[in-house]
Structure 1
């Protein structure tokens, strides 16, 4: 099986390695971000709001730091808005504090609003227009939804026929204002563009955790069990994915990936492995 090594992409500056990485992402414009706290959260404790840092590393390596005040979640998702602000969202929405599940901060790190998008958030990605795409895991039947940064629900997958039962959003890719998703149980490839009917393509690849799309081609990354580092390539027709070859994704040094985060953006899948200080990239367009 052909091996494809990730290309190094972005690195957390060493000056911040002493802090705990709560989460990390790559935004719609290619900038990598790390949400840092002084220490790791303790289960069942530390329920009060705390201050955090976002360290952003731009293409080329320039870094900036934004201090966020009164962050409320211990197990967060993070992304940046086009105006320079940030969204921090909890994966879980407990009844006692669900109105603060999603916090929106301005570019100076001040909270400007908060709202809820529902429990069991697997993916949260901001698109180039500032909308929030949320994919839920199987403890929430809402599937995939799109929200404004003010908390207005703009689209829900239950409004789109032909996709089957969307029980768990395994893979989500957001590029420009379009989202691509591959959900359990039937694993169709969904193309979701605002203002147009959702396009549903049948697909035989099961269990992918990330997807990249480029000019009529698709790559699925991940799978069940021993296939967690698998790449499956395919071509797109109007109604289906025609599966072609397979490969194996590795770390830049050729090692297995191990525990990782993944972010899909257009032709790219960004991958971050422990200790979560570096991002690598697989680019289908290459």
Structure 2
């Protein structure tokens, strides 16, 4: 059991690698921000449509090929997930306290930059939106990582030798997940520490999911309930990608960087899922 838990912990901790990449350097480059947000959107969209939604339909169909009933329930759960996160999104304040931001940019040596009032206001608005984006992304990825961690844990319990490639693949695709959270939080708060640890915490949801699933949820989250949860999480991730990540990325003015990064994120996930 200890080996299974450590395997799950290693897979989740790989998020820290992406978090570290997201906080390296100045972190204020529009191209870096656009690339990070586009990459994370590609990751989340691909996971949702290629892995989570089909898997939810399969589970809801009794574990075999997806049938009309299972597909219909998965689609319903998908849109329920979108509705839930949309309601949560409406409840999150769009503005934050002005004391959270000093108007200082990384690399200014801690001194206020001389900028036009409208430029400063636009920057504060962007930071507030990115803070909200990063937080919602962290929540969505943490929800996704809980069942993923439980699955890794079960695989390691059943056959440790089979768990090795599973852990490697999950760890690999957790790297861009860490980047997805760290980049907007880094840009919004100017704090490398906050960005790194918040992104890392999303990965730690995997060992937490392993423990909770093993102790409490395994008898309950099975069959139709698990299938519905997988499809609903897919809906959450799609909403976050389309409503938060891509619009924020486009606001940087780096349209082609966003598109190329979006495709790169999908390609990374495709390769890791093929290995998985």
| Bucket of the pairwise TM-score, normalised by the shorter protein | under 0.3
| TM-score (ref. length: structure 2) | 0.23
Name the larger-Rg structure. 2
| TM-score (ref. length: structure 1) | 0.22
Structure with the higher fraction of residues in helix conformation: 2
Structure with the higher fraction of residues in strand conformation: 1
